[in-house]
Amino acid sequence: MRKTSKIHNLPDSGKRRDRLALLTKINLAALLLLCLLETFVAERSWLTILLLYLPQHWIGVPGAALALWALARKQPKLLLWNMLGLAFFVFYFLGFNIPLRKGSTPAGPRLRVMTYNINYGSRGAAQIIKVVRAARPDVLCLQETRAYQKWPDPVPELQRLLPDWHMARGSEVTTLSRFPIVAQRTHAMPIKTGRVILETQIAVKKRRFSVFNVHMSTASSGANYAESRLRQMFGLPIYASSTADIRRRQTKILMSVTSKVSGSQIVMGDFNNPPRGLVYRELTGRFHDAFHAAGWGWGYTFRADLPVLRIDYIFLGPGIRASRSFVPAMSASDHRPLVAEISLP
C-alpha cells in the first residue's frame, strides 16, 4: 500500500513542478515583452503610455509569488530564475539605481542645486523654507509658484524669507540663486498650456552657466482646459495620447532652446515623465541624469506621502559632473525635492 501511495504521488508532484516551470517561463517572457514595449513603443500608443506612467510595482507581484512557490517546493533552479526576474524588475521597472560611472571631477566651482514643485505653496511658505534650509542649495528651481484657487501667490513671502537670494520668475516657475542672476529669458511652451521655460544665466567666480527651469504639462490648460478634463474623465485613450503628445512637443521646444545656448547648462524641473520611454531617451541623449549618475536608491519624488514615481529631474550638460544626488525625506508639497551636488567645468 505504501509503494502504491508513492507511485500515485509522483505524477502529482511532477505536474506541480511542470506548472511552476511553465508559469516561470511565461512571467520572464512577460517581463521582457513589457520592457520592449516601454522602451521602443513607449509614447506611440495610449496603452503603452499607461504602462509607462502608472506605478510599476504591480509588475513584480507574479514573480514574487512564483519565487515563494519555488522556495516552498524546494526547486532551486526555478527559484534562481524567478529571483533573476525579480532583480530585473527591481532595477528596470522600479528603477533602483546604483551609480556605476566614475570620471574625473572638473576643477571648477562646486555647487548644490535643487528642483522642487511646491504645489502653489499650499502648505505655507514657512514650511517650504524649512525644507530649503535643510537641503542648503545654492541654486533652486521651483515650480507651481503662483496663486491658485484658495492659495495666494507664495513668491512674495518666499522672497521675504530669503532676502539675500537673487530671483527670476516666469509664469508659474521661479529660479532663486545665492549667486547673481545676470540674465533671464522666458520661452513659451506650445498649445496654450500656460507653461514656459525659464532660462537664467548665473555668475559664479567669473564663470557663467545657464539654468533652465521646466514644468512639463500633465494636461492642456487655458482655452483647452475644459476639453482636457472631459477627455480625462470619459476618454482615457484620447486623454493619454493627447497629454503625452503635449509633453513630446514641449520636449522638442526645450531641446531647440538649449541647442541655441552656448556654455554649461543645467535643466531642472518637474517633467511629469518616467525614467523610460521616448521623451526620457531624447533628454538623456544630450544631458546626463544627475540621479542616475550619482544617486543611490529609488529617487522617487511623487507623491511626497507615499513616493512611487520618479518624475522630477536634474539634467546636466556636457562637462558638468554630479558627485551626489538624493531626495530629502521631507516635504511641504505633494512632491519631494531633488538635490544634486555638482562640479562646473
Can you give the pLDDT at residue 130?
96
Longest dimension (CA), the chain: 92
Grid cell digits, residue 235 = 476618454
Beta strands per DSSP E along 50-125: 110-117
Which three cell numbers mark 22?
Answer: 511553465
Give the three-class secondary structure for 158.
helix
Cα angle 200, 99, 84; round to 5: 135
Signed CA dihedral, 50, 51, 52, 58: sign only: positive
Condensed to tens digits (0 to 9), the pLDDT of residues 211-268 reads 999 999 875 444 355 455 545 555 667 777 778 888 999 999 999 999 999 999 999 9
Write out the E strands in the chain: 110-117, 139-143, 166-170, 173-177, 181-188, 196-204, 207-215, 264-270, 288-289, 312-316, 321-326, 338-343
Fold of 110-343: Deoxyribonuclease I; Chain A (3.60.10)
Does residue 210 have a pLDDT over 90?
A: yes
CB 181 within 8 A of CB 168: yes
CA distances from 294 to 153, 302, 310, 323, 334 (A): 34, 20, 15, 6, 24
- Mean pLDDT, to the nearest integer, of 72-84? 97
- Tens of pLDDT, residue by residue over 127-182, are 999 999 999 999 999 999 999 999 999 999 999 999 999 999 998 999 999 999 99
Task: Give the full edge-to-edge strand order of the sheet including 264-270.
Answer: 181-188, 196-204, 207-215, 264-270, 312-316, 288-289
252 membership: H or E segment, kind and range: helix 236-259
Strand (E) or helix (H) holding 32: helix 2-36
| Region of poorest pLDDT, from 11-15, 79-83, 243-247 | 11-15
Domain extents in the chain: 2-93, 110-343
pLDDT at 9: 52
Confidence band of 109 (pLDDT split at 50, 70, 90): confident
